[in-house]
Chain A
């Protein structure tokens, strides 16, 4: 039973890595520290701007704006509207507002307030200002690859 070395770096990759390891940042580092330096990913500024998402619906605000219409809604319609708000379903709430306007249950001004509320956006709370960048290994040879202490020692020899 013998161990067969994994695929080695190409000669071109070795040349690039040898050049890299002459850099001052590697001076005095142990091979294990160098292996780690080549395979960690530093955080970099997120190149994508923070997206804007539809603002979550606020039942109190919407029901205030639709107050004059709500007295005309059946109990079933009120339940459905309430469920749509709870589900953050902007399209359905807009349909109910359109209905209320068409039937004259809300003023144009109140309808416009509802539409404006539905069109509000907020910054995506899940967006991260910094994201992991490439490993130094990837920057150097164009692919991520693990590196062992023995391989670092060979490159430094």
Chain B
């Protein structure tokens, strides 16, 4: 399988694994991450890497945003971004993997974070895998 983009570092943890995002531009929510390091009372800053496969016929067109919330059951409205994470159109498509750089999401505004994915291809699904790491933290008090 051809791979494009950047290398796949080993120090990232799985966030969303092999998530098939529907065609047609509907936002799909990923898993959440609890950014609080309770021991140190610090909120971590998230960095993520997105890998995309699919768009079999004519490449893919995907947008990824991050959202924050203090309540992991009550997130912002679909597509309402706290940060733009990744946007890629007309990439290789097919069975190849395109892997983004590790993207810093920035200073968190709440305890929980999640990614949302939108596949703008009209017919083809794309499969995304995202990985994350926590780079540093700030005092949450």
Contact = CB atoms under 8 A, between A and B. Distances in A.
B33 A2 contact: yes
Interface residues of B, number: 36
B127 A35 contact: yes
Interface of B: 13-24, 26, 28-37, 44, 54, 72-73, 112, 114, 117, 122-125, 127, 134
Interface stretch (A53-61, A86-94, A147-155): A147-155
Contact of B16 (A32, A144, A148): A148
B28 to A, nearest CB: 3
Interface centre among B20, B23, B24, B26 (most CB of A within 10 A): B20
Interface residues of A, number: 28
Contacts, number: 99
B22 to A, nearest CB: 4
A1 B134 contact: yes
Nearest to B19: A148
A35 B31 contact: no
A38 B30 CA distance: 17
20 contacts: A2-B33, A3-B14, A4-B72, A5-B32, A6-B114, A7-B29, A32-B20, A35-B125, A39-B20, A39-B21, A39-B23, A40-B124, A41-B123, A132-B123, A135-B23, A135-B125, A145-B22, A148-B18, A148-B19, A150-B18
